[in-house]
Structure 1
Amino acid sequence: MSTLVWPPIAADELIREEDASLARELQWLLGSLQETLQSLKSGLEECAELLAPKEPGSTLVLSSMRSENLKGFITRVGTRIVKGDVHLRLPSLPPPKGQTSYKLSLSTSPTAPTIALEQLTTTRTLINACLDVVDATRWTGDSKNANFISGQIRLLHDNIQEAKTALKGWTQEQKPWHEEHVDVNAFSPPLPANVSFHLSISEAAVLLHVRTLEPAHPHTGTSTPLALAAGASSPSYSGLSLRERLSTALGGGRLAFHDEAHEIFMYEGQEVRVRDKVRVESQDPSLMAVMAKLGALERNVALSKRALDIVMGKETDEG
């Protein structure tokens, strides 16, 4: 299909008319983006409200699947965990005499250190940055300057994308469990030295890993693994020494079966192995709502960015 101008006009005049039409389209788009920014601000404020530190917070039930290894709850207020009780039944963590489980309780003392979820702190910071970008774009910048508006829209898109990624989890900036330690004094009584308590966010859910630890090379007095120190004639591809395998065969402690059973980690200055590991995921309705809203905002900003790039004649990454 072709478009004809009738009566015909000169080529140079046609170019001038096309440029004038494109300029009018650009000004119309810049004006409509002001309404889009107001709508985006409302959505961002809803996200900020869901992450605000408001009492009584969100109480999340913790329960290991198909086992009694871990039962309990935690309470999240904003980006912090302020309350929680966890009952553990792990072979390597015997309960106190007269008890059926080992209890970990967050301290309620006002002077106790708090447990902050860094991913939520990052998300909240980025959302606040987005709100600042929207206000700067609407009130302090030149709303008719296409290059300025384009730069602000791109910044807004990047921040929203990063905030959503922080809620999804497992980013390169996220520290592994053995490098991110919870203060033992956040618990009452303090967390045992051989227990790692690690909280993170994955797909807008709160993820708890509890691990019991042991020295990587016990009883040798050196850095030599126990299997070699015992004079084993061949390496142990199972990750267990001859002594450990004999002990298990004769009714000793059970083997550790999890994805980290044969790995060695540097934890608080020493090499350790993970004896027992339990993973519990608890869906947080507020975080799920934030992630859904950020996804919708990201799509809206991406459409605005693409439309502005097309009218400005810029190349876009989208097809």
Structure 2
Amino acid sequence: MREDTRISFQNDKKLDVTYERLQHGAVSLQCFAIYLSERWGIPRYEYILDQIDVFKSRVMTTAGGVRWMRWKEEAAELEQEIGSVHPASKAGQIPWGLLSVEGADGFEGSLFYVRMCYEMGVRFLGITWNYANWAADGVLEKRDGGFTEKGKKLIELCNEIGLLLDVSHLSPTGFWELTERTERPFIASHSNAKSICPHPRNLTDEQIRAIVAMDGRIGMTFVPWFVREGGEKPVRPEELLPHIEHFCSLGGQNSLMIGSDFDGIDAWIQGLEHPGRYPEFAELLCKHYSEELVRKWFSGNALSYLKRHLPESEGMHGKPVK
């Protein structure tokens, strides 16, 4: 949307996630990722600001509206609104939006810029994309380094202000270093189980157990090559079931949520191409699991995390963030 001002969030087919599809899929909360494309050259802070402006001026103002979630009180408000995993009871509901930044590159090494983005409403930070930046190494960086000295200060700042951290693209060494340094449980926003599909972006059993132990969250992703090796046949929604089963076998039933990666992919699971297909996916899961578990994966686990770890709104006025 930053690259093409003609794209409408209402119903533009260039997007996976649109307002109409959120309504059709009965989606109550969508995370909107600020991502700095490699096409734009050297990452700059202004590119992050541009996308915050796109969210405010072109997403929130869509006919029907999108509410901006920033505080734990708002997560509690949404929890009260949530009904069944089935869409009928939520038709016409105004969805909420969360803002995240994928990759700290655009902060240009400035912790002041990070703090300012938090104050402007960003609530999640994916520390790296796939490669190294000023804070840490990404998962595809061959040297597999951890955090730089400034990256360690970034962890301290995020813990202090309540900016939640996301490890989906972080190097293995960085992952384990963060488990030792963070005071708040982190998330892996869009990763699957490496034991089921051995892609480097997926999580090992040890990483899954570590996230579960700290009461973090894991968003299962719909990137086809993170679901199944090989691209000869289209990936079907049923092929997510072994990942779900594996997460549950490691104690992750209360940590699992929907991670998708919509609008971050150029190939899709057949039958799960956009959020308007969630009702069918919910029906599929309910054939294999209890409705209570499916509710947790579609909303309960994410909301319990947000209620616990988003800052209280009084933090905006100079009082301690809890």
Task: With the length of structure 2 as denominator, give the TM-score of the two structures.
Answer: 0.23
Question: When the two structures are superposed, what TM-score results if normalisation uses the length of structure 1?
Answer: 0.23
